Amino acid sequence: MRLCTIQSGGKAVVGVKTDNGKIIDLSKQMPRGPKSVVEILAGGRKLQQAVLKACAKPKAGATVSEKSAKYLPPVPNPGKILCIGLNYRKHAEETGSAIPDYPLVFTRFNNTLVPHNGKLLRPSHSKQFDWEAELAVIIGKKCRNVPKAKALGVIAGYACFNDGSLRDWQRKSGGQFTLGKGFDGTGGFGPDIVTSDELPPGGSPLRIMTRVNGKTMQDSSTDDLIFDVPTLVHELSKVMTLDPGDVIITGTPSGVAMARKPPNWLKPGDVCEIEIEKIGVLRNPVVQGA
């Protein structure tokens, strides 16, 4: 099942993807049905099957094409956005960093999120704007202290994420990542959430790529993760309660601009695409920001 959030009639509504390139506006197809993607994810297989059944025969006027849809981030306002740094072995190596012995955790905030086809903003305070293709994990059940063996059971789905980074700002505060990841409009998210049942357990192995203006910059696989998805859920849930709709951004593979000689930073006019096998393509043009 593929779910997205789109704008319809001036409000955010659930979109259900079909196999023929259409999106069913659930507010029109199922007016008394769930009002958000998170509600559907948290409702589990029973609610998801009910939504799919309701969408089997789209009503007149309830569908839009993927090309014409105005996307919002699939989870527009996550309660938590938890990010993992240096979590691909080859990426750690290309940056000259030691292989972490525990997940390197930092946070993002909702002001950074940009939907599919939305404009990534390169801020006026930096030219060192880097791409980072990442697998996003969306939590579906409220949980705490989750055993690693049961961690996959609290995951509702997966999505594409571009953890856009201002590299000089990452270094400004003693190596903490938050400032470099905190600028408005720098994190691409979407277009869809693909439910867990359609993907390999833990989202691995899946090919993961970045293209800038059609040229491949990153090309790797999620099987290069140092800390896999069950480990991340297990460790994070020791510290905090994870809620439906929380997002875990699992790290980026090798091939970032920072590691190139010379670095070829993202600039206004570029188009950046993140592609993850079986999930889809997240596309964002880059423009000058404030």
Q: CA-to-CA distance for 163 and 120, rounded, in angstroms?
A: 11
With tokens 């009639």, the residue in question is 9
Question: What sections of 201-259 are H helices per DSSP?
Answer: 229-239
pLDDT value of residue 219: 98
User: How does pLDDT run across 215-264, given as a tens digit for each residue?
Assistant: 999 999 999 999 999 999 999 999 999 999 999 999 999 999 999 999 99
For 113-134, how does the pLDDT look when each residue is reduced to its tens digit (9 = 90+)?
999 999 999 999 999 999 999 9
Band the pLDDT of 175: cuts 50, 70, 90.
Answer: confident
Q: Please say if the pLDDT value at position 159 is more than 90.
A: yes
pLDDT confidence of 173, banded at 50, 70, 90? confident
Please name which of 27, 16, 63 lies closest in space to residue 191, comparing C-alpha atoms.
16
Look up tokens 């990452």; give the residue: 170
Summarised one tens digit per residue, pLDDT across range 32-56 is 999 999 999 999 999 999 999 999 9
Cβ neighbours of 201 (radius 10 Å): 11
Share of the chain above pLDDT 90, in %: 96
Of the candidates 103, 46, 36, 45, the one whose C-alpha atom is nearest the C-alpha of residue 72 is: 36
Burial 126-160 (b: 16+ CB within 10 A, else e): bebbbbbbbbbbbbbeebeebeeeebeebbbbbbb
At 104-115, the pLDDT tens digits run: 999 999 999 999
pTM for this predicted structure: 0.97
Q: For residue 245, give the nearest of 149, 143, 150 by alpha carbon.
A: 143
Mean pLDDT calculated for residue range 83-100: 96
Using CA of residue 279, residue 164, residue 103, residue 259, what is the dihedral sign?
Answer: positive
Contact indicator for 289, 263 with CB cutoff of 8 Å:
no
